[in-house]
Amino acid sequence: MANLHFHYGVMGAAKTANLLITAFSLNQTGKHVEIIKPQCDNRFSDNEIVSRIGLRMPALSLQNLDDYMPKPETQFILIDEIQFFSTQDIDKLVEIINYSKVIIMGYGLMTDSNEHLFHASQRLVEVGAKLHLIESNCQIDGCMNLATHNARFDKNGRIITNGPQIAVGSEQYISVCRMHFEKFKSGVILNQIEK
């Protein structure tokens, strides 16, 4: 059985909900679980993981994994928003699994709204994490295509395809299929999109 897993999908694909359901199931069967999240993810809580469907659990909020070591009894480490950690943090996780029987499951985004891999996500692929795609549909009304892109829009509904990899604020994010992403890149405005 693989001991390093990366569960990835676009925004809104229920990655956090999947993590919380997995943690609940493991806890129900007596497994020792640690839940971690990056400190920069404080949208809903500083010390909890919260899904959009209302599930929540306490989590260890860390800026980095430099000094992190799991407790001796820990069997599973579940990490939310893993893409916000560094490549060095991923290497620390590899070191942990190399010298213990812990199973690590990271949940997060593979790519940003600029179509670039997050550094931590790229490193997970490079070190051989078992990949699990969490599928969801395009969020454009009436489209049933697989969502493949995290599209970021300005206040006027125009797509933003450059700039910082992590951006929060007035921008709006929508998960879309490749076809709609290309339409937005060609100049179509969000509220003028045809189904």
> One of 34, 48, 73, 81 is an active-site residue; which one?
81
Q: Which CATH superfamily is domain 4-133 in?
A: P-loop containing nucleotide triphosphate hydrolases (3.40.50.300)
Contacts of 4 (CB under 8 A, 6+ apart): 93, 94, 97, 103, 104, 106, 124, 127, 128, 129, 130
- For residue 135, count other CB atoms closer than 10 A to its CB: 11
Q: Evaluate whether 8 touches 15 at the Cβ level (below 8 Å).
A: yes
Where do the domains of the chain lie? 4-133, 149-192
- Type of residue found at 195: K
Q: Evaluate whether 120 touches 84 at the Cβ level (below 8 Å).
A: yes
pTM recorded for the entire structure: 0.92
Assigned token pair, 59: 């989590």
CA distances from 143 to 110, 118, 180 (A): 22, 27, 9
pLDDT in tens, the chain (195 residues): 569 999 999 999 999 999 999 999 999 999 999 999 999 877 767 788 888 888 889 999 999 999 999 999 999 999 999 999 999 999 999 999 999 999 999 999 999 999 999 999 999 999 999 999 999 999 999 999 999 999 999 889 999 988 776 665 546 899 999 999 999 999 998 887 765
Per DSSP, the three-state class of 49 is strand
Active-site residue, 81 included: yes
